[in-house]
Amino acid sequence: MPGIEFSHVVMRYDNGTEALRDVSVVIPEGSMVFLSGHSGAGKSTFLRLVLRLESLTRGRILINDVDISRLARRHIPAYRRHLGVVFQDHQLLPMRSVYDNVALPLRVARMREREIGRRVRAALSTVELLDKDRVLPGALSAGERQRVGIARAVVNRPKVLLADEPTGNLDPALSRNVMSLFRIFRSLGATVIVASHDTALISGMGERVVELADGRLVGDSAA
Protein backbone atom coordinates (compact mmCIF):
# COMPACT_ATOMS: atom_id res chain seq x y z
CA MET A 1 0.00 0.00 0.00
CA PRO A 2 1.90 3.07 -1.18
CA GLY A 3 2.13 5.86 1.29
CA ILE A 4 4.69 8.55 1.93
CA GLU A 5 6.35 9.15 5.27
CA PHE A 6 8.86 11.91 5.98
CA SER A 7 10.61 11.21 9.25
CA HIS A 8 12.75 14.01 10.76
CA VAL A 9 13.94 14.97 7.30
CA VAL A 10 16.67 17.56 7.03
CA MET A 11 17.79 18.77 3.64
CA ARG A 12 20.82 21.02 3.48
CA TYR A 13 22.23 22.14 0.14
CA ASP A 14 25.95 22.36 -0.56
CA ASN A 15 25.90 26.11 -0.01
CA GLY A 16 24.68 25.56 3.56
CA THR A 17 21.06 26.54 2.98
CA GLU A 18 18.68 24.35 4.96
CA ALA A 19 15.68 23.81 2.72
CA LEU A 20 13.92 21.41 5.09
CA ARG A 21 14.40 21.28 8.87
CA ASP A 22 13.27 18.26 10.78
CA VAL A 23 10.13 17.69 8.75
CA SER A 24 7.97 14.71 9.73
CA VAL A 25 4.73 14.04 7.92
CA VAL A 26 2.72 11.05 6.74
CA ILE A 27 0.67 11.07 3.57
CA PRO A 28 -1.49 7.96 3.31
CA GLU A 29 -2.12 6.19 0.06
CA GLY A 30 -4.90 7.60 -2.10
CA SER A 31 -5.00 10.94 -0.32
CA MET A 32 -4.66 14.42 -1.70
CA VAL A 33 -2.43 16.89 0.13
CA PHE A 34 -1.55 20.47 -0.56
CA LEU A 35 1.90 21.73 0.38
CA SER A 36 1.52 25.42 1.02
CA GLY A 37 3.94 28.13 1.93
CA HIS A 38 5.71 31.11 0.50
CA SER A 39 8.44 30.91 -2.08
CA GLY A 40 11.50 29.32 -0.46
CA ALA A 41 9.45 27.55 2.21
CA GLY A 42 10.70 24.14 1.06
CA LYS A 43 7.76 22.91 -1.05
CA SER A 44 9.79 22.17 -4.17
CA THR A 45 12.54 20.55 -2.12
CA PHE A 46 9.90 18.30 -0.58
CA LEU A 47 8.82 17.15 -4.05
CA ARG A 48 12.39 16.85 -5.34
CA LEU A 49 13.22 14.57 -2.42
CA VAL A 50 10.27 12.33 -3.27
CA LEU A 51 11.45 12.28 -6.88
CA ARG A 52 14.98 11.44 -5.72
CA LEU A 53 16.26 14.47 -7.56
CA GLU A 54 17.95 15.40 -4.30
CA SER A 55 19.42 13.31 -1.51
CA LEU A 56 18.40 14.20 2.01
CA THR A 57 20.95 15.20 4.62
CA ARG A 58 19.34 13.50 7.59
CA GLY A 59 16.20 11.58 8.42
CA ARG A 60 14.27 9.06 6.38
CA ILE A 61 11.72 9.04 3.60
CA LEU A 62 9.64 5.91 3.31
CA ILE A 63 7.57 5.22 0.27
CA ASN A 64 5.63 2.00 0.32
CA ASP A 65 7.77 1.05 3.33
CA VAL A 66 10.99 1.46 1.40
CA ASP A 67 13.59 4.00 2.42
CA ILE A 68 14.12 5.72 -0.92
CA SER A 69 17.27 7.47 0.26
CA ARG A 70 18.88 4.04 0.25
CA LEU A 71 17.76 3.22 -3.27
CA ALA A 72 20.69 2.24 -5.49
CA ARG A 73 21.24 4.64 -8.35
CA ARG A 74 20.40 1.99 -10.90
CA HIS A 75 16.97 1.47 -9.32
CA ILE A 76 15.98 5.13 -9.38
CA PRO A 77 14.67 5.16 -13.00
CA ALA A 78 12.37 2.20 -12.28
CA TYR A 79 11.22 3.94 -9.10
CA ARG A 80 10.40 7.14 -10.97
CA ARG A 81 8.25 5.27 -13.48
CA HIS A 82 5.67 4.95 -10.71
CA LEU A 83 5.58 8.70 -10.12
CA GLY A 84 3.81 11.32 -12.16
CA VAL A 85 5.12 14.87 -12.16
CA VAL A 86 3.42 18.09 -13.24
CA PHE A 87 5.49 21.25 -13.47
CA GLN A 88 4.52 24.88 -13.55
CA ASP A 89 6.47 25.32 -16.80
CA HIS A 90 5.05 22.08 -18.30
CA GLN A 91 8.45 20.72 -19.39
CA LEU A 92 7.07 19.54 -22.71
CA LEU A 93 9.42 18.63 -25.54
CA PRO A 94 8.82 21.29 -28.20
CA MET A 95 9.78 19.13 -31.19
CA ARG A 96 7.42 16.30 -30.29
CA SER A 97 3.71 16.29 -30.84
CA VAL A 98 1.22 16.26 -27.97
CA TYR A 99 0.77 12.54 -28.56
CA ASP A 100 4.52 11.83 -28.41
CA ASN A 101 4.94 13.99 -25.31
CA VAL A 102 2.23 12.10 -23.48
CA ALA A 103 3.55 8.76 -24.75
CA LEU A 104 7.04 9.43 -23.38
CA PRO A 105 6.68 7.66 -20.00
CA LEU A 106 5.15 4.64 -21.73
CA ARG A 107 7.95 4.44 -24.28
CA VAL A 108 10.45 4.68 -21.45
CA ALA A 109 8.61 1.76 -19.88
CA ARG A 110 8.91 -0.05 -23.25
CA MET A 111 5.22 -0.68 -23.69
CA ARG A 112 3.81 -2.00 -26.90
CA GLU A 113 2.72 0.69 -29.34
CA ARG A 114 -0.89 -0.49 -29.37
CA GLU A 115 -1.09 -0.21 -25.58
CA ILE A 116 0.65 3.17 -25.73
CA GLY A 117 -1.95 4.41 -28.20
CA ARG A 118 -4.78 3.21 -26.01
CA ARG A 119 -3.43 4.84 -22.87
CA VAL A 120 -2.42 8.09 -24.54
CA ARG A 121 -5.86 8.50 -26.09
CA ALA A 122 -7.46 7.81 -22.71
CA ALA A 123 -5.23 10.37 -20.97
CA LEU A 124 -5.81 13.01 -23.66
CA SER A 125 -9.51 12.33 -23.54
CA THR A 126 -9.51 12.93 -19.78
CA VAL A 127 -7.86 16.33 -20.21
CA GLU A 128 -10.08 17.04 -23.25
CA LEU A 129 -7.24 17.35 -25.75
CA LEU A 130 -7.81 14.29 -27.89
CA ASP A 131 -8.38 16.41 -30.97
CA LYS A 132 -4.95 18.05 -30.60
CA ASP A 133 -2.83 14.93 -30.38
CA ARG A 134 -0.79 15.77 -33.53
CA VAL A 135 -0.19 19.40 -32.58
CA LEU A 136 3.18 20.63 -31.36
CA PRO A 137 3.18 22.15 -27.85
CA GLY A 138 4.11 25.57 -29.23
CA ALA A 139 0.72 25.80 -30.90
CA LEU A 140 -1.19 25.31 -27.63
CA SER A 141 -2.35 27.80 -25.04
CA ALA A 142 -0.81 27.83 -21.53
CA GLY A 143 -3.80 25.99 -20.12
CA GLU A 144 -3.67 23.37 -22.86
CA ARG A 145 0.06 22.84 -22.34
CA GLN A 146 -0.57 22.36 -18.64
CA ARG A 147 -3.22 19.79 -19.40
CA VAL A 148 -0.81 17.97 -21.73
CA GLY A 149 1.68 17.95 -18.85
CA ILE A 150 -0.98 16.44 -16.60
CA ALA A 151 -1.87 13.82 -19.23
CA ARG A 152 1.81 12.88 -19.44
CA ALA A 153 2.01 12.68 -15.66
CA VAL A 154 -0.93 10.31 -15.33
CA VAL A 155 -0.63 8.24 -18.53
CA ASN A 156 1.52 5.67 -16.76
CA ARG A 157 -1.10 5.33 -14.00
CA PRO A 158 1.30 6.52 -11.33
CA LYS A 159 0.87 5.60 -7.73
CA VAL A 160 1.98 9.06 -6.66
CA LEU A 161 1.22 12.25 -8.56
CA LEU A 162 3.38 15.27 -7.72
CA ALA A 163 2.54 18.75 -8.92
CA ASP A 164 4.78 21.76 -8.41
CA GLU A 165 2.80 25.00 -8.73
CA PRO A 166 0.61 23.46 -11.46
CA THR A 167 -1.69 26.48 -11.65
CA GLY A 168 0.98 29.16 -11.51
CA ASN A 169 0.39 30.32 -15.08
CA LEU A 170 -3.33 29.68 -15.25
CA ASP A 171 -6.38 31.82 -14.69
CA PRO A 172 -8.75 30.88 -11.82
CA ALA A 173 -11.17 28.97 -14.04
CA LEU A 174 -8.40 26.86 -15.57
CA SER A 175 -6.87 26.37 -12.13
CA ARG A 176 -10.10 24.92 -10.80
CA ASN A 177 -10.27 22.72 -13.91
CA VAL A 178 -6.77 21.38 -13.21
CA MET A 179 -7.59 20.76 -9.58
CA SER A 180 -10.68 18.83 -10.51
CA LEU A 181 -8.49 16.65 -12.70
CA PHE A 182 -6.24 15.93 -9.72
CA ARG A 183 -9.29 14.95 -7.72
CA ILE A 184 -10.27 12.52 -10.46
CA PHE A 185 -6.85 10.88 -10.27
CA ARG A 186 -7.02 10.78 -6.49
CA SER A 187 -10.38 9.03 -6.81
CA LEU A 188 -8.68 6.46 -9.04
CA GLY A 189 -6.31 5.61 -6.20
CA ALA A 190 -3.31 7.84 -6.80
CA THR A 191 -1.68 9.74 -3.95
CA VAL A 192 -1.65 13.38 -5.03
CA ILE A 193 0.69 16.01 -3.58
CA VAL A 194 0.29 19.53 -4.89
CA ALA A 195 2.75 22.26 -3.98
CA SER A 196 1.12 25.65 -4.33
CA HIS A 197 1.29 29.10 -2.79
CA ASP A 198 -2.19 29.95 -4.04
CA THR A 199 -3.95 30.03 -0.66
CA ALA A 200 -7.29 31.06 -2.14
CA LEU A 201 -7.33 28.04 -4.42
CA ILE A 202 -6.13 25.68 -1.68
CA SER A 203 -8.68 26.83 0.86
CA GLY A 204 -11.47 26.34 -1.65
CA MET A 205 -10.55 22.70 -2.22
CA GLY A 206 -11.30 21.43 1.27
CA GLU A 207 -8.38 19.02 1.21
CA ARG A 208 -5.60 18.44 3.71
CA VAL A 209 -3.03 21.24 3.78
CA VAL A 210 0.53 20.85 5.02
CA GLU A 211 2.11 24.23 5.56
CA LEU A 212 5.83 24.86 5.36
CA ALA A 213 7.68 28.00 6.36
CA ASP A 214 11.41 28.48 6.16
CA GLY A 215 11.89 24.72 5.80
CA ARG A 216 9.83 23.82 8.87
CA LEU A 217 6.47 22.16 9.12
CA VAL A 218 4.29 24.85 10.68
CA GLY A 219 0.84 23.53 10.05
CA ASP A 220 -1.10 20.41 9.11
CA SER A 221 -4.85 20.58 8.74
CA ALA A 222 -5.07 16.85 9.41
CA ALA A 223 -3.25 17.08 12.74
Partner 1 sequence: MTMDAQRGRSGPAATRRPKEVWPAASGALRSVWRERARVAGESIAYVGQRWPTTVVVWLLIGAALALPAALYMVETNLSRAAGEWQGRPGFTVYFEPGLDASVSSGLATRLRAEPHVGDVRLITPEQALAELRGQTALRDAVEIFDGLEHNPLPVTIRATLVLGRSPDRLQEIAESAGLIPGVAEVVIEKTWLERLAAIRDVTRRIGVIVAALLGVSAVLISAASVRLAIAARLAEREVLALVGADARFIRRPFLYLGVLYGIGGAVVAAALLAAALMALEAPLARLFSSYGADLHLSGFDPMFLGVLLGCGAVLGALGARLAAAQSDRPP
3-class secondary structure per residue, 66-125: EEHHHCCHHHHHHHHCCEEEEECCCCCCCCCCHHHHHHHHHHHCCCCHHHHHHHHHHHHH
Among 8, 38, 66, 204, binds partner 1 (CB under 8 A): 66
Q: State yes or no: residue 74 binds partner 1 (CB under 8 A).
A: yes
Q: State yes or no: residue 70 binds partner 1 (CB under 8 A).
A: yes
Q: Which is nearer to partner 1, 3 or 40 (CB)?
A: 3
Choices 62-70, 137-145, 163-171, 190-198 (CB under 8 A): range interacting with partner 1: 62-70
Residue 201: its H or E element: helix 199-205
Burial of residue 113, with CB atoms counted within 10 A of its CB: 0-12 exposed, 13-18 middle, 19 or more buried:
exposed
Q: Which amino acid appears at position 221 of this protein?
A: S
Q: State yes or no: residue 85 binds partner 1 (CB under 8 A).
A: yes
End-to-end CA distance of the chain: 22
Give 20's strand partners. Answer: 11
Choices 15-23, 33-41, 100-108, 203-211 (CB under 8 A): range interacting with partner 1: 100-108
Q: Which is nearer to partner 1, 214 or 220 (CB)?
A: 220
The footprint of partner 1 (CB under 8 A) covers 1-3, 5, 7, 26, 28, 51, 53, 60, 62-68, 70-83, 85, 91-93, 104-105, 107-113, 115, 152, 156, 159, 222-223
